[in-house]
Amino acid sequence: MTIRVALCGNPNSGKTSLFNCITGANQKVGNWGGVTVEIKEGTASIDGEKISIIDLPGTYSLSAYSLEEQVARDYIVNEKPDVVVDVIDATNLDRHLYLALQLMELGVRPVLVLNMWDEVTVRGLKIDINRLGQLLGLKVVTTNAKLAHGIRKMLHTAVAQAREDGAGFAPLNIPLPGELSDAVDHIEKLIAESGFSTYPQRWMAIKLFEHDKSVAELIKSQPGSAHIIEKIKGYDSNITQLLGDEPESLIAESRFGFISGAIRETVTETRLKRVEISDQIDKVLTHKFWAYPVFAIFMWLLFQVTFKIGEYPMTWIELLFTWMQSAVSGLLPPGVTRDLLTEGVIAGVGGVAVFLPNILILFLGISIMEDTGYMARAAFIMDRLMHKIGLHGKSFIPMIMGLGCSVPAIMAARTLESEKDRVKTILLTPMIACSARLPVFVLFAGALFPKNAGNVVFLFQVVFGFCAFVIMGYVFKHTLFRGSEDYPFVMELPPYRVPTVRSVVIHMWHKAKHYIKKMGGVVLVFSIILWWAGVYPKSPAIEREYDRKIEQVANNTDLQPQAKQARIGDLENKKQAAIMERTVIGRIGKAMEPVVRPFGTDWRGAVSLATGFVAKEIVVGSMGVLYAVGDEVDEGHEDLRAELQQNFTPLAAFAFMMFVLLYTPCIVALLTLIKELKSWKWSVFSVGYQFAVAWIAATVIYQLGSLIGL
């Protein structure tokens, strides 16, 4: 039988790194229990034992203040894994043991994994793990996920505990102040009389004093239990008057007092405390002034590297797909099948695949920022700005995640306590340019702004999106969300660490997987559809007319060879445009053209933007199909950038990119947004306002630019 091991722990405990180290690529990611909180599951084996590792969401407690905590708690209680492993930052026992105590109160006997063991000695600490295990009655092992040390021992210990009979492990009862202890005993007795058995009754009593909403709802759902809630209210008031503090604070103090006693018995400092390197670095990176320019420089460098280094593999991929087109053209006879494969499948998918190096480099940079601990600092330093636009500091986390993909960014808003903050953050997050928009910016910047391509990409991928987020946040604060309650920002800043190659690569792969799947699915399907819509119905009369004109030019002996070739090329382009205008896609584009014409785009741009509703990557693939000549005679026009240089001015390209940045996200992100908002009113508003903002911004840029002669 497969042994199920649930990994839990505080954020920044190294839990995910440990999970990656154990499972490697044998992972799958899914949603749990009908909610959108992500849980990872992987497999491993030790001495012939199959182990299923479940990576639960990072949580500081089991109080279910957030959905992540609720999911972690429900999984442990309802799914009953064979063993729970609590991953702890060994250098922060005083804070991380809090979750372990709550597990023990719940009747769960966790295996304690003291991770980052290498840092214990560096910080001048000495921990007696045998004594700690005796005091808590738990098995304790040490690991270093970065170097894969202690992994086998951890798995052996988990398997051994899973094979033991855990029925004899009684829930931990933390000593409480006298009056509070008596009150908890009384509520525990009332709960027992009501017949609750899902959770330990004393644990439920304590949770009621901690104002745990889910436990309170559970109590209320039981017939004849309303008097328990009334009793809690009375006890709350009396205990606060008698002891001078609320029961919730007294319970937390009791837990930390228990932890403090255990640490005094097991931890000694081998040298005087010193200022940590992390603190020294933070004097600059979280400075009230320098933090902002440093953050801007880091992001600018990231996109410079993304663009500069990405040029080389992009060229190789372009050559590969060009060779594939030539090879297929040489193997197959002229006809529909050859055109479908070369101009539909290869050209469409190749137009998107060529930007894969840029996406990978971008995700690599974001993964490094996360694993080093800098991403948490970025959220911290932006907290002040978030409050100015009426948002909680935690809103910056979805904002940063939006650089990768809008779907997890929208889901990340679930951690916000205020419903108004959550709705506002979800409405604003699509303003940030996700990685799917990056190919569009790279394509246009390289074609129309070749000397400053990296800077232009940085402006659209980071600066303009952040500015739009801030501006619209300020507008919402003073219109739709006036009077929203302000919540303080609390977030742990982990110490800076050197990320491992394995961890960074795994994180990069998880982020890039979504993009690669689109290439093989949505992009492929729509490339074929667009090719068909761009070829049919045929226009034989137009073909004959232009072929006659081309033949006349070819037979004209008065023209010089160079002039003759130029005339023929011009006629071929006009022929292709005339044929395309009468196809299905041409007619759709012509109908849409009045909408996009105010910002300098023609019907082909309209069609590309329309397909972007499905997935933003398809904008590039669509242009590859719409501008492709598809004939060996016109191979000088096969380069999409050259086509854009002929059909877009720099001003029109700038306006087009602005529209791509601001208009509605892809259909997957839109469905996620609808699911998270749980309101058709807000969902319709989201689509409408984003389209309106995109059209107004693009039109104003183009029209003002035209007036001043840009």
- Predicted confidence at residue 366, as pLDDT, reads 75
pLDDT at 443 over 60: yes
- Predicted confidence at residue 635, as pLDDT, reads 25
Cα 22 from Cα 16, distance rounded (Å): 10
For 166, which DSSP code? G
Cα 76 from Cα 360, distance rounded (Å): 35
Residue 276 domain-assigned (yes or no): no
Residue 100 domain-assigned (yes or no): yes
Are residues 308 and 227 part of one domain?
no
Cα 186 from Cα 175, distance rounded (Å): 15
Residue 546 domain-assigned (yes or no): no
Cα 217 from Cα 221, distance rounded (Å): 6
Residue 573 domain-assigned (yes or no): no
Cα 595 from Cα 695, distance rounded (Å): 9
Are residues 114 and 193 part of one domain?
no
The residue that leads in pLDDT, 491 or 460, is 460
Domain boundary among 116, 147, 168: 168
Q: What is the pLDDT of residues 324-334, one digit of tens each?
A: 888 888 888 88
Percent of the chain having pLDDT more than 90?
13
Are residues 668 and 630 part of one domain?
yes
Domain boundary among 112, 135, 168: 168
Are residues 139 and 14 part of one domain?
yes
Alpha helical stretches, state H, 89-170 = 93-105, 118-122, 129-136, 151-163
Residue 291 domain-assigned (yes or no): no
Burial 102-115 (b: 16+ CB within 10 A, else e): bbbbbbbbbbbbbb
- Predicted confidence at residue 691, as pLDDT, reads 93
Residues 411, 403 contacting (CB under 8 angstroms): no
Domain boundary among 117, 138, 168: 168
Residues 53, 20 contacting (CB under 8 angstroms): no
The residue that leads in pLDDT, 162 or 390, is 162
User: Could you tell me the residue range of the domain that residue 236 belongs to?
Assistant: 178-257
Are residues 442 and 318 part of one domain?
yes
Residue 654 domain-assigned (yes or no): yes
Are residues 156 and 212 part of one domain?
no
Are residues 204 and 158 part of one domain?
no
- Predicted confidence at residue 36, as pLDDT, reads 43
Token reading at 448: 């129309």
For 144, which DSSP code? B
Whether a cis peptide bond, with omega within 30° of 0, leads into 81 is: no
CA dihedral (387, 390, 392, 395) in degrees, to 10, reads: -110
Q: What is the pLDDT of residues 479-490, one digit of tens each?
A: 888 765 555 555
- Predicted confidence at residue 340, as pLDDT, reads 77
- Predicted confidence at residue 629, as pLDDT, reads 36
The residue that leads in pLDDT, 266 or 577, is 266
- SS3 state of residue 582: coil
Q: What is the mean pLDDT of residues 493-521?
A: 69
Q: What is the mean pLDDT of residues 677-706?
A: 92
- Predicted confidence at residue 274, as pLDDT, reads 47
CATH number (domain holding residue 224): 1.10.287.1770
Confidence at 305, pLDDT banded by 50, 70, 90? confident
Cα 544 from Cα 39, distance rounded (Å): 61
- Predicted confidence at residue 462, as pLDDT, reads 84
Are residues 655 and 525 part of one domain?
yes
Are residues 315 and 214 part of one domain?
no
Enumerate the β-bridge partners of residue 7: 55, 85
Are residues 431 and 305 part of one domain?
yes
Alpha helical stretches, state H, 354-477 = 356-372, 374-381, 383-388, 396-401, 406-412, 419-428, 438-448, 453-458, 464-477
Prediction pTM value? 0.58
Residue 578 domain-assigned (yes or no): no
User: How many domains does the structure of the chain reveal?
Assistant: 3
Amino acid identity of residue 332, one-letter, is L
H or E segment at 266?
A: helix 247-266
Q: What is the mean pLDDT of residues 503-522?
A: 68
Cα 706 from Cα 695, distance rounded (Å): 16
Amino acid identity of residue 127, one-letter, is I
| pLDDT, averaged across the chain | 80
Residue 493 domain-assigned (yes or no): yes
Are residues 233 and 164 part of one domain?
no
Are residues 222 and 99 part of one domain?
no
